[in-house]
Chains A and B, each alone.
Chain A
Amino acid sequence: MGKLSSILSVIVAVLVLISTSALFIVDEREQAILFQLGEVVDVKTSPGLYFKIPVAQNVRYFDSRILTLDTEEPERFITSEKKNVLVDFFVKWRIVDVRQYYISVRGDEALARTRLAQTVNSSMRDEFGNRTVHEVVSGERDRIMEIMRQKANVDAKKIGVEVVDVRLKRVDLPQEVSESVYRRMEAERKRVANELRSTGAAEAEKIRADADRQREVILAEAYREAQTIMGEGDGQAAAIYAGTFEKSPEFYTFYRSLEAYKKSFKDKQDMLVLEPSSEFFKYLNNPENSSANKK
């Protein structure tokens, strides 16, 4: 019983030892190189359980996922119009040829990143140097990225790496230039504001003037209308008068004159200086005189 259990434990220990030193697992996320005394003997690119000779062979794992090279601080580049722009970008890359990768950068990721960064940087300098700020920011942004991806790939192949993507993040103006941009924006807004205000005033004035014009027109037309109406009244009245007074103009003037006298001399303020020679006073001077006193 004791013997058996000890045998069992030995068996288990041996099994464990074998499984740790003679077997190795390659995960979905990685690739592995099998070394024999420092020399590459095999490359495992697909995941699974593999066998190796204990002690003589050892394994190194490499990440097979897409990796990122992200610049921490934006760098200055000069455009074709000799302006500075601050640019940061990221590069997505992947180890495709593990053997090559191991040989060229000793499997050191930092080293690979440095090399990629240098490549991308230098090609970026070329691209930016041939383009204006505007082209870099908007017009040819995607073209630049595509060109850089292709250029970077040429060099990346040498170290067993594929550049999946190079993408610009920020393409900004340096602080001192930004200030002038702000000033320009401000000036532009001021212009817009002034324009709005003055057009507002102009429009208001137009509306007012139009209202005034309408008023004038309305009043003038009303005046014309009113005068016409009044004239009609006058005309009709005249016709009425004439129609009747025609019958006896002589009597009409007599009668009308009497009316007028009455209306004209009707209060104490009106001073009449009279001679008693008039018809009216004939009896006043000469009560006997039946007929008028003829001169």
Chain B
Amino acid sequence: MTRYGYYPGCSLHSTGAEYDHSFKAVCNSFKIELEEVPGWVCCGTSPAHASSHLLATALPIKNLALAEYAGINELVVPCAACFSRFKMSLRELSENEKLSEEIKEIIGSAFQNKVKIIHPLEVFDKMEEKNIKDAVKKNLSGMKVVCYYGCLLTRPPKVMQFDNVEYPMSMDRVMQKCGATVLDWSYKTDCCGATFSLTETDAVLKLTNKILENAKAVGANAIAVACPLCHANLDTRQAEIEEKYQTQYGLPILYFTQIMGLALGIEPKELGMKKHLVPTEPVLAAVK
């Protein structure tokens, strides 16, 4: 039995609930236990780092201090934006001793920097290939996926230290082990417009259109993602993109944990497959 601390972040409790449900279901299948950080608060996400350096550092560190207090050594952070904020804040502290003292004063608790931050992709990528293959119950070879990592998982590489910065492969490997057909493509780490979804919507439509276009061009019938912001932009805005650019994609955007869940034979409903705005039925029909 492996145990990890778990920081779901705000999105996984609302717009990205499928990610939360499917990640937990997959962990359950592999006998991985998750302990949610007691009393966690928002990491501040982009509004904080665009407004105050101190605030943007204090909020993630407060959460790490809470995790430390709960005796957590390894903390899994599935949201790419939270994952990035946590690692960026630790970098700030390591570079600046004065800031480090100030942050401790601000959060009002001790922090010893003992918690290791990991992404779910790392959890599954380091699992033995045999263990995953043994657990797979369904054939996903009819599912042709491209893996979309987005901006924040790998960049900047000095801080994130996660996979190859321009052409990461961890999600591709996990998907392959689950039996999906994984395709090469050009938009793995391109920006989807992230936080501009509600404000500069046109920019988001423009950027996501290119991503969907390339996915379709290489023959994908689904896009695998690891970030609730990417998911929101590609899934909830897809109808608008099709209308604006006079095209038809119909590409289901699935969290990679949902695809894992399908391979492991978990019920689609339990994986939140009904929560998508782009219908997932076509790709579910490819699961044999």
User: Do A and B make up one complex?
Assistant: no
A residues adjacent to B (C-beta < 8 A)? none
